[in-house]
Amino acid sequence: MSDDRHAAAISTLGTSGVARARIGSAASERASRAWWDADADDYHRTHGEFLGVESSAGEFVWCPEGLHEGDVHLLGDVAGKRILEVGCGSAPCARWLASQGADVVGLDLSMGMLARGVSAMDQAGGRIPLVQAGAEALPFADESFDLACSAFGAVPFVADSAQVMAEVARVLRPGGLWVFAVNHPIRWIFPDDPGPRGLTATLPYFDRTPYVEVDDEGVPTYVEHHRTIGDRVREAVGAGLEVRDIIEPEWPEWLDREWGQWSPLRGQLFPGTAIFVTRKPA
Ligand X SMILES: C[S@@+](CC[C@H](N)C(=O)[O-])C[C@H]1O[C@@H](n2cnc3c(N)ncnc32)[C@H](O)[C@@H]1O
Stretch that binds ligand X, among 88-96, 200-208, 231-239, 264-272 (CB under 6 A): 88-96
How long, in residues, is the chain?
Answer: 282
| Near ligand X in 162-181, by CB under 6 A | none
Give the one residue of 34, 51, 165, 277 binding ligand X; rule: CB under 6 A. Answer: 51
CA-closest candidate to residue 178, choices 140, 159, 142, 151: 151
Give the one residue of 75, 104, 130, 151 binding ligand X; rule: CB under 6 A. Answer: 151
Do residues 205 and 185 make contact, with C-beta atoms less than 8 angstroms apart? Answer: yes
Name the burial class of residue 201, with classes exposed (0-12), middle (13-18) and buried (19+) by CB atoms within 10 angstroms of its CB.
exposed
Give the one residue of 145, 157, 180, 262 binding ligand X; rule: CB under 6 A. Answer: 157
Q: How far is the CB of 11 from ligand X (least distance, A)?
A: 19
- Total binding residues for ligand X by CB under 6 A? 20
Q: Does 13 bind ligand X (CB under 6 A)?
A: no
User: Would you say 137 or 201 has its CB closer to ligand X?
Assistant: 137
* Separation between Cα atoms, residue 210 and residue 227, nearest integer Å: 10
User: Would you say 48 or 271 has its CB closer to ligand X?
Assistant: 48
Q: How far is the CB of 61 from ligand X (least distance, A)?
A: 7
* Separation between Cα atoms, residue 258 and residue 46, nearest integer Å: 10
Stretch that binds ligand X, among 29-37, 185-193, 239-247, 267-275 (CB under 6 A): 29-37
* Separation between Cα atoms, residue 274 and residue 267, nearest integer Å: 13
* Separation between Cα atoms, residue 191 and residue 133, nearest integer Å: 31
Stretch that binds ligand X, among 152-160, 207-215, 242-250, 256-264 (CB under 6 A): 152-160
User: Would you say 136 or 146 has its CB closer to ligand X?
Assistant: 136
Q: Does 135 bind ligand X (CB under 6 A)?
A: yes
Cα angle 3-4-7, degrees, rounded to a multiple of 5: 110
Q: Does 262 bind ligand X (CB under 6 A)?
A: no
| Near ligand X in 197-256, by CB under 6 A | none
Q: Does 154 bind ligand X (CB under 6 A)?
A: yes
Cα angle 280-281-282, degrees, rounded to a multiple of 5: 115
User: Would you say 87 or 271 has its CB closer to ligand X?
Assistant: 87
Nearby residues of 261 by Cβ (< 8 Å), 6 or more positions away: 187, 190, 192, 193, 194, 198, 272
Q: Does 113 bind ligand X (CB under 6 A)?
A: yes
Nearby residues of 207 by Cβ (< 8 Å), 6 or more positions away: 226
Query: Which residues of this protein are in contact with ligand X, per CB under 6 A?
Result: 29, 32, 36, 51, 87-89, 93, 108-110, 113, 134-135, 151-154, 157-158
